[in-house]
Structure 1
Amino acid sequence: MEFSIEQTWDSLPVGHAPVKILFSPGEGGLTMSVDAPFFNDPAAPPGPPGQPFPGLWDYEVVESFFLNSTEEKYLEVEVCPHGQHLILLLNGKHNAFMQQLPLSFSGAVTGDRWRGEALLPWRYFPPGVDKMNSYAIHGSGAGRRFEALYPVPREDLHEGQGPDFHRLEYFQPFRLQGIMGEGWVQPESDLWEAASK
């Protein structure tokens, strides 16, 4: 299942080839593959590749969110071209109760493009995922760009509004069974069971 990020967070067309995200079955989880333009702006995060990096959203990054819209529980996955990553589990909007979880992720830059692949373990997903959204960020200062698969519609914008990737009301329907097969049942998660106690 492939998605292309073709709009900014506020529903304008992006001015470059779109970021592409592919979800496919993985061993014990969901494989997330990224194929994106490489802007090299800002510079790489000052952390080792393959490790979690807090505040990764301040760098060049691609993000996907997986939401249980009834309970507002969601998984946020962030990956960057230089190999760092960040996982957040959120119970309620902006309410991260667990972050910097380990992730099998590799990223590689070739010329003006980068590719990355991550295996998202099922235990990271909240039960009953039914919506998702994905984002891409790059640039520095006034040139910072925020792009969204499902952006805020133009008619919903108001003066002074900035990008907020946690606008859950704009997420769109998403079924893991559409990737894994109709008979597939999402495994239970010890991480989310602990969060609900």
Structure 2
Amino acid sequence: MQLVIDRLWDGSPALPAERITLDLRARGGALEIGVDAPYHGDPPPPSPPGSTPGLWNFEVVELFLHAPADRYLELEFGPHGHCLALQLDGVRHVVATVEIAFVAEPPAHGRWRGRAVVPPDLLPPGLARCNAHGIHGLGAARRYLSALPAGGTRPDFHRPDVTAPLDPALLRELSLGT
């Protein structure tokens, strides 16, 4: 399954050079996520690569995986190898920070690529829907992009009502049903 982030949070088109692609596939019972994103050159977080609290404050690609009753997994990936995985039960109610495997290739030719593996036990029960986002830029030049824009008066990515169904074949391969 492929997700394309090519709109701003309010629904207006993003610049062609801002287009982000996420590839989702099942592999060995786990969810594998491939990231292909433009590299904007924002400063990296001041911590070593790996799980990084507050990663949304930096250049990042985000994937929200939703299940019923507002249970979801928020996954964040940065171009310098930083990541963050949060399990939520209720909108913005974090119940756990969990570890996932994530590797990013060094940015080259204005783009970066990464690959994450999410074990099946970290996926929310009843997983069915998703949305994806990208954030980059500093200060007033900060840009918020979405695969499925929510609109509103400001960017808000914690919107279980603004999601798309995950591919039933992907869910079957993950042994999660349809």
Q: TM-score range by the shorter chain?
A: over 0.9
2:101 to 100, 104, 107: 104
Moved over 3 A (4+): none
1:168 to 139, 160, 167: 160
Q: Which residue does 2:38 correspond to in 1? A: 37
> Contact 1:3 / 1:20 at 8 angstroms: preserved in 2?
yes
The alignment's C-alpha RMSD in Å is 1.6
Give the aligned residue type for 2:72.
Y
Give the aligned residue type for 1:19.
I
Question: What CA distance in whole angstroms lies between the structure 1 residues aligned with 2:170 and 2:66?
Answer: 16
1:151 to 149, 152, 172: 149
The 3-state SS of whatever aligns with 1:168 is coil
Question: What CA distance in whole angstroms lies between the structure 2 residues aligned with 1:144 and 1:27?
Answer: 38
The structural deviation recorded for 1:186 is 2.5
Question: What CA distance in whole angstroms lies between the structure 1 residues aligned with 2:175 and 2:157?
Answer: 28
Question: What CA distance in whole angstroms lies between the structure 1 residues aligned with 2:171 and 2:133?
Answer: 23
Post-superposition CA distance 1:82-132 (Å, at most 9, x none): 001000000000000101x22211112113100000001111111111111
The 3-state SS of whatever aligns with 2:96 is strand
The 3-state SS of whatever aligns with 1:34 is strand
The 3-state SS of whatever aligns with 2:169 is helix
Question: What CA distance in whole angstroms lies between the structure 2 residues aligned with 1:11 and 1:171?
Answer: 14
State TM-score, norm by structure 2: 0.92
The structural deviation recorded for 1:24 is 1.2
- How many pairs were matched up? 175
Q: Which residue does 2:15 correspond to in 1? A: 15
> Contact 2:63 / 2:76 at 8 angstroms: preserved in 1?
yes
Stretches of structure 1 that go unaligned for 5 or more consecutive residues are: 188-197
Instruction: Report 1:1-197 matches (<5 A).
Output: 1-17=1-17, 18-41=19-42, 43-49=43-49, 51-68=50-67, 70-99=68-97, 101-108=98-105, 109-153=107-151, 157=152, 161-175=153-167, 177-179=168-170, 181=172, 185-186=175-176
